A and B are shown apart, each in its own frame.
Chain A
Amino acid sequence: EAGVTQSPTHLIKTRGQQATLRCSPISGHTSVYWYQQALGLGLQFLLWYDEGEERNRGNFPPRFSGRQFPNYSSELNVNALELEDSALYLCASSLHRGRGTEAFFGQGTRLTVV
């Protein structure tokens, strides 16, 4: 069974541009989560989608947005890129949204803003 897949693996953008990151969850999983892992800052929660709806949002500006498609895949959009947006962006999926449900992570997309 395929795990969580993210694309692209690496992305280089110029400051001010837009970036689009994509995530395909494990088959049957309805919840998708996005995290930012910047150097030295651990994992910062960005967004959580479940069954097509946004369930929760972390403390990030509105230029970070996303959506979940009917097949439960998801994309993260970052507008007006800033240098400090350079980070590893991790996507995770889970079968349900219950508290005991584990999340499975993808390998991440490394975004570099120059």
Chain B
Amino acid sequence: GDSVTQMEGPVTLSEEAFLTINCTYTATGYPSLFWYVQYPGEGLQLLLKATKADDKGSNKGFEATYRKETTSFHLEKGSVQVSDSAVYFCAPRREGSQGNLIFGKGTKLSVKP
């Protein structure tokens, strides 16, 4: 079945450091790809998405590029802030009867001042 592999963390960075969170997926067909973020004590919020190969999703300084050939959708940010501390989830979504979002375990990010 469909699945997602992410570095589990926790990832601990200093403020203004560069962030990369790797995400690879297996999914039948041609999924869209999403990154969601969960701040402490809250539900999930959409961070960014990409719907076709080579598309770049971006939001709040975060970016991710849909790499179909490597089935990857790595999340990057050039300079993290303490307020970015959260759990990040990568999720593919495909068409059809199994077209619900598939999540992995998420990656916990802690940013220290």
Residues of A within 8 A of B (CB): 4, 33, 35, 40-45, 48, 55-56, 90, 92, 97-108
B98 in the interface, Cβ–Cβ < 8 Å? yes
The one of A41, A42, A55, A100 that contacts B100, using a Cβ cutoff of 8 Å: A55
Question: Considering only CB atoms, which chain A residue lies closest to B103 in the complex?
Answer: A43
B67 nearest CB across to chain A (Å): 17
Known: A43-B89, A45-B102, A107-B42. A102 touches B95 (CB 8 A): no
Q: Is the CB of B100 within 8 A of A56?
A: yes
B53 nearest CB across to chain A (Å): 13
Known: A42-B106, A102-B34. A55 touches B101 (CB 8 A): no
B100 nearest CB across to chain A (Å): 5
Q: For chain B, which range describes its interface: under 10, 10 to 19, 20 to 34, or 35 or more residues? A: 20 to 34
Interface of B is mostly: loop
Residue among B34, B36, B100, B105 having the largest count of chain A Cβ atoms under 10 Å: B100
Mark the stretch among B12-20, B44-52, B75-83 that contacts chain A: B44-52
Q: Is the CB of A99 within 8 A of B51?
A: yes
B56 in the interface, Cβ–Cβ < 8 Å? no
Q: Can you report 14 residue pairs joining A to B where beta carbons are below 8 Å apart?
A: A40-B105, A42-B89, A42-B103, A42-B106, A44-B103, A45-B101, A56-B100, A90-B44, A92-B44, A100-B49, A100-B93, A102-B46, A105-B36, A108-B43
Which residues of B37-80 have CB atoms within 8 Å of chain A's CB atoms?
42-46, 49, 51
Residue among B43, B95, B98 having the largest count of chain A Cβ atoms under 10 Å: B43
With a CB–CB cut-off of 8 A, which chain B residues contact A56? Answer: 97-100
CA distance A47 to B64 in the complex (A): 28
Q: Is the CB of B51 within 8 A of A100?
A: yes
Known: A42-B103, A45-B102. A107 touches B43 (CB 8 A): yes
With a CB–CB cut-off of 8 A, which chain B residues contact A33? Answer: 100-101
CA distance A108 to B104 in the complex (A): 18
CA distance A101 to B103 in the complex (A): 15
CA distance A108 to B53 in the complex (A): 33
B32 in the interface, Cβ–Cβ < 8 Å? yes
With a CB–CB cut-off of 8 A, which chain A residues contact B44? Answer: 43, 90, 92, 105
